[in-house]
Amino acid sequence: MIIILMGVSGSGKTTIGARLAQALGWPFYDGDQFHPPANVAKMQQGMPLTDADRWPWLHALRALIETCLHQGVSAVLACSALKQVYREHLIIDETEVKLVYLKGNYNLIHERLAQRRGHFMPPGLLASQFAALEEPERGVVVDIVHPPETIVALIRAQLGV
């Protein structure tokens, strides 16, 4: 099984993903690590990514998912996957690839981003992420107001892992 944790920047994908993967004994992949250097540079300059910017990144993530499935390796992947078309590209097998939406309101996430250090995504780009966000119609939805250990427990319970 591949679990994709999706949501806007600052929703806790990396924190929750790392904890969930550790609890399950699975590898964790942070989608941010798969961005081409040009995308990182663009975001560092406060410029939102376009669909054209995101497709090479999404192709790399899909290749990772395909490799894991082919090798029979379960994994947790943190990836914003803001649009339905992105999720359709990544969820290549709904029985094996599960989506978890880490949902939070703008004010909470903005506050988190303002406190975060050492990340290439500046808080000023949060509005563009919310503008691009198409909330999923399927998958597990978890409100990020809960502490991380509760979120991990909720995900595990809803996915049965």
Question: Looking at the predicted structure, is the pLDDT value of residue 128 above 90?
Answer: no
Which residue, 155, 135, 25, 157, is CA-closest to 80? 135
The CATH number that applies at residue 21 is 3.40.50.300
Q: What is the dihedral of CA 15, 69, 138, 57, to 10 degrees?
A: 60
Question: Looking at the predicted structure, is the pLDDT value of residue 120 above 70?
Answer: no
Q: What is the pLDDT of residue 116?
A: 64
- Domain range for 93 is 2-159
Question: Structural domain tally of the chain?
Answer: 1
Q: What is the pLDDT of residue 28?
A: 98
Rounded distance between C-alpha atoms, residue 9 and residue 15, angstroms: 12
| pLDDT per residue as tens digits for the range 89-119 | 999 999 999 999 999 999 999 888 877 665 5
Higher pLDDT, 51 or 78: 78
Torsional sign, CA 147, 148, 152, 153: negative
Question: Looking at the predicted structure, is the pLDDT value of residue 86 above 80?
Answer: yes
Q: What is the pLDDT of residue 118?
A: 55
Which residue, 53, 60, 55, is CA-closest to 29? 60
Q: What is the dihedral of CA 111, 112, 116, 122, to 10 degrees?
A: -70
- Segment 2-25 mean pLDDT: 96
- Segment 134-139 mean pLDDT: 95
pTM over cut 0.75: yes
| Percent of the chain whose predicted confidence (pLDDT) is above 70 | 94
